[in-house]
Structure 1
């Protein structure tokens, strides 16, 4: 079994979503020769695209929520139904030991993801990040640990 995790941008443009979706599905289909297990923090954007792809390909989804209040305080109304659907369809939901969402909570969720996976997909434009627990930090930690990283940024992709 190979386990996969996702890190990536939330603010993808509408035209970028199908590009990323296709790239993620292609990578998962090529790599998953056995049971497919995907780990996601279920943020909007890259995390949600990945989670749907894992489920659509018959895989098991493990949700890693950064904090107890994540769904209530960080999930906007435009993504709420999608988030709740993914929570309901996940095989397992793990909540990090933080009451409130914070950079520490995001970093802990990302560390849990990195500890669990063999491969990280990074929907990332390659720019350095400023926030702790962000995509650039996850990619750097994964690479430092020797975890395989696939950067997914198809031609024409853009952030909103």
Structure 2
């Protein structure tokens, strides 16, 4: 069963969401049987990916960066979506950090990289806005020899 991870921008404006959803669906369409996704379930790319995995009949695991992630980082306007998706996860792991911060984010992404066969990256190609961002994860994946497919559809933007 292939394990496919996700990294990507969390700050996608509403107009970019359907574009990214369609592009991720196309990228995952080759995995018709036995797909296991691995995600940190952040807003934006990670949550769109989780839904796309379910849409192709796969399952997904969640790697949370820290014990306080839900209370500290999930905004009220995204809480219902987060809670619904985490309830559909086949497994939820929490990294051994008390507080969500850049080190915790990168550690969670490193855990994802350690458990996948390939990565999808919803990435505009620009450098990370801080340690542990999408560009850093893409670089770490490539350094490990993990295949990375960049998904950035025409017209997509990040805030």
TM-score range, shorter chain: over 0.9
Indicate the residue corresponding to 1:29 in structure 2.
29
- The count of residues paired between Structure 1 and Structure 2 equals 159
Gaps of 5+ in 1: none
Cα deviation for residue 54 of structure 1 reads: 0.8
Structure 2 runs not aligned, ≥5 long: none
Contact map agreement 2:33 2:57 (CA 8 A) in 1:
no
Asked if the contact 1:4/1:118 (under 8 Å) is kept, the reply is: yes
Report the counterpart of residue 47 of structure 1 in structure 2: 46
* More displaced stretch, 49-58 vs 76-85: 49-58
The alignment partner of 2:76 has SS state of: coil
Q: Does the 8 Å CA contact 1:2/1:34 hold for their aligned counterparts?
A: no
Q: Distance in 2 between matches of 1:8 and 1:66?
A: 15
CA offsets per residue over residues 69-101 of structure 1, 9 Å max, x none? 100000001100000001110000000001110
TM-score (norm 2): 0.97
Deviating runs (4+, > 6 A) in structure 1?
none
| Aligned equivalent of 2:99 | 100
Question: Equivalents in 1 of 2:24, 2:147: separation in Å?
Answer: 15
Residue correspondence of structure 1 range 58-137 to structure 2 within 5 A = 58-137=57-136
Equivalent pair of 1:7/1:46 in contact (CA under 8 Å): yes
Contact preservation (8 Å) 2:32, 2:57: no
Instruction: State the 1:33 CA deviation.
Output: 4.5
**CA RMSD in angstroms, aligned pairs only:** 0.9
| Residue 121 of structure 1, CA deviation | 0.7
Cα shift at 1:34: 3.3
